[in-house]
Amino acid sequence: MRCTLPVIRVMLCVAGLALGHVSTAQTESDERALLDVKNGISISKEPKFLLNLRFRMQARLGLNTVGGEDLSTDKVEGRIRRLRLRFDGHVLNRKVQYYIQLAFSKADMDLESGAIAQPIRDAILYYNFSPNFYMGFGQSKLPGNRERVVSSGNLQFADRSIANGAFTLDRDFGVFGYWTIPAGGTLFNVKGAVTTGDGRNASAINSGMDYTGRLEFLPFGKFEGSGDYSEGDLEREMTPKLSIAAGYSFNDDAVRTGGQLGSDLYAPRDMGTLIADLMFKWKGVGAMFEVFDRRTSDPFTFDADVAQRTALAGTAMNSQLSYCWPKHWELAGRYAFVQPSTRLRSSVKKSEEAILGLTKYLNGHRIKAHLNVGYRWTEGDAALDHPGNSWNAMVQVEFGI
């Protein structure tokens, strides 16, 4: 077990720093400018101008084992996973809002998979026609699966699930619309977008576009602190709260293996992605569930030398269950899988993961520490001696304003 135990000791020491009392912090959203600020630095000349300035960073230390039985260390990850600087506010009046988010870490700038730095994550201008209806023009997250739209600063695990990694819609450039419909004690949220379909910071490629729609139903009304887009019941809802949603995205002539994400395909492909999810919270109990179904008529593309790149299609699921104590310690579990479509199974294996997480919230999601331990397996075989299976552990500390 070379170097595994020393690394684990260091990780446990880092996790042990998460001690202290908690105060309620404001929920971060990636969908709208934040005008009523409790955190961050605010500069204003009301009613014509407001600038909110915030940052956050995530420092992590993690390891992967060689196998399920072989617990010697295969990889050690120690880095700043995210470093973000965020600006939002309004100009002219409160109806004209803006939201800009820049990234500075290697992973956030796509330098792990590409040669060109991409620091711009979000840059969008909103116009609020009413308190319940607004539209945006620019680059932002598509109204896709809940786990993706939840800010990476509001997650209860160090990383999003493998299901999200395979079939999320991510960011794109275009026109976005959001409409909230109160109906007695319930709410409906209607969200839509018409975008380029090529992902963030893309050049002009073809005439294909992406069309995304999503409908959310909140039968028991609003969550405290926009908790339907924040993982874990830190607010400890006094009455049950539930959000049920479904959406569909059609990417006409997609040029990347994952639609808006991934390597370039050798030929464009149409992709359709169906997503359904829910969020439930009550008295410290939190549950989130997502399913995905992505289809394409022909996933295989080839270049002149018969090299192959495939558009990933198939199904996936992510489920998370947690309990947050009044002292703001949280225990959470996750199970997720990705099942490639029948035509891809000869080259892409089914993958599954189970993760147990312990989190201490020192100032809500703004200052917190995660300790995650997980197991991943392939081909539906969770046996410790199955090739490709492995354990992983991670400590991550987040700090922000």
- The answer to which of 103-107, 273-277, 323-327 has the lowest mean pLDDT is 103-107
Q: State mean pLDDT over 236-251.
A: 98
Q: Give dist(CA 177, CA 134) in Å, integer.
A: 6
Which one is predicted more confidently, 215 or 114? Answer: 215
Residue 164 in contact with residue 148, Cβ under 8 Å?
yes
Asked if residue 103 is part of any domain, the answer here is no
Residue 296 in contact with residue 310, Cβ under 8 Å?
no
Q: Where does the pLDDT of residue 343 fall: very low under 50, low under 70, confident under 90, or very high at 90 and above?
A: very high
pLDDT at 195 over 50: yes
Q: Phi and psi dihedrals of 196, rounded to 5?
A: -70, -30
Give, in order, the Cα–Cα distances in Å from 290 to each of 192, 243, 261, 286: 19, 12, 19, 14
Residue 65 in contact with residue 4, Cβ under 8 Å?
yes
* Length of the chain in terms of residues written: 401
Token pair of 158 as six digits? 């160090």
251-274: pLDDT as tens digits:
999 999 999 999 999 999 999 999
Q: Give dist(CA 185, CA 386) in Å, integer.
A: 51
Q: What is the pLDDT of residue 112?
A: 74
Q: What is the pLDDT of residue 273?
A: 98
H-type alpha helices, 22-142: none
Residue carrying structure tokens 């969908």:
31
Q: Phi and psi dihedrals of 388, rounded to 5?
A: 95, -15
Q: Where does the pLDDT of residue 1 fall: very low under 50, low under 70, confident under 90, or very high at 90 and above?
A: very low
- Radius of gyration for the chain, computed over Cα atoms and rounded to the nearest angstrom: 21
Asked if residue 85 is part of any domain, the answer here is no
pLDDT at 240 over 80: yes
Q: What is the pLDDT of residue 40?
A: 76
266-305: pLDDT as tens digits:
999 999 999 999 999 999 999 999 999 999 989 999 998 8
pLDDT at 115 over 50: yes
Q: Where does the pLDDT of residue 339 fall: very low under 50, low under 70, confident under 90, or very high at 90 and above?
A: very high
Q: What is the pLDDT of residue 178?
A: 98
119-144: pLDDT as tens digits:
999 999 999 999 999 999 999 999 99
Q: State mean pLDDT over 70-93.
A: 95
Q: Where does the pLDDT of residue 111 fall: very low under 50, low under 70, confident under 90, or very high at 90 and above?
A: confident
Q: What is the pLDDT of residue 13?
A: 52
Residue closest to 319 by CA, chosen among 188, 136, 145: 145
Degrees to nearest 5, angle at CA 365 with 322 and 136: 105
Asked if residue 99 is part of any domain, the answer here is no
Residue closest to 271 by CA, chosen among 293, 241, 288, 240: 293
Q: State mean pLDDT over 362-373.
A: 97
Asked if residue 305 is part of any domain, the answer here is yes
Question: To the nearest 10°, the Cα dihedral for 220, 225, 231, 237?
Answer: -50
Residue 358 in contact with residue 329, Cβ under 8 Å?
yes
Q: State mean pLDDT over 336-357.
A: 96
Asked if residue 244 is part of any domain, the answer here is yes
- The answer to which of 15-19, 300-304, 305-309, 317-321 has the lowest mean pLDDT is 15-19
Give, in order, the Cα–Cα distances in Å from 184 to each of 29, 224, 355: 25, 18, 39
Query: In terms of residue numbers, what domain contains 339?
Result: 4-28+58-80+132-400
Q: What is the pLDDT of residue 69?
A: 96
Q: Where does the pLDDT of residue 14 fall: very low under 50, low under 70, confident under 90, or very high at 90 and above?
A: very low
Q: Phi and psi dihedrals of 162, rounded to 5?
A: -65, -25
pLDDT at 44 over 90: no
Q: Where does the pLDDT of residue 204 fall: very low under 50, low under 70, confident under 90, or very high at 90 and above?
A: confident
Residue type, 144: G
Cβ atoms < 10 Å from Cβ of 72: 11
Token pair of 338 as six digits? 């990705």
- Mean pLDDT across the chain: 91
Q: What is the pLDDT of residue 20?
A: 40
Q: How many folded domains does the chain comprise?
A: 1
Asked if residue 251 is part of any domain, the answer here is yes
Asked if residue 277 is part of any domain, the answer here is yes
Asked if residue 127 is part of any domain, the answer here is no
Q: State mean pLDDT over 4-17.
A: 51
Residue closest to 60 by CA, chosen among 400, 393, 401, 379: 393
pLDDT at 30 over 70: no
Q: What does pTM read for this prediction?
A: 0.89
CATH number of domain containing 179: 2.40.160.10
Residue closest to 258 by CA, chosen among 231, 292, 304: 292
Token pair of 199 as six digits? 């992902």
Q: Where does the pLDDT of residue 21 fall: very low under 50, low under 70, confident under 90, or very high at 90 and above?
A: very low
**How far, in whole angstroms, is CA 304 from its chain's centroid?**
36
Q: Where does the pLDDT of residue 24 fall: very low under 50, low under 70, confident under 90, or very high at 90 and above?
A: very low
- Looking from the CA of 268 toward its CB, the CA atoms found within 13 Å total 15
Q: What is the pLDDT of residue 5?
A: 53
Residue 192 in contact with residue 186, Cβ under 8 Å?
no
Q: State mean pLDDT over 168-193.
A: 97
Residue closest to 341 by CA, chosen among 373, 369, 306, 316: 316
pLDDT at 242 over 80: yes
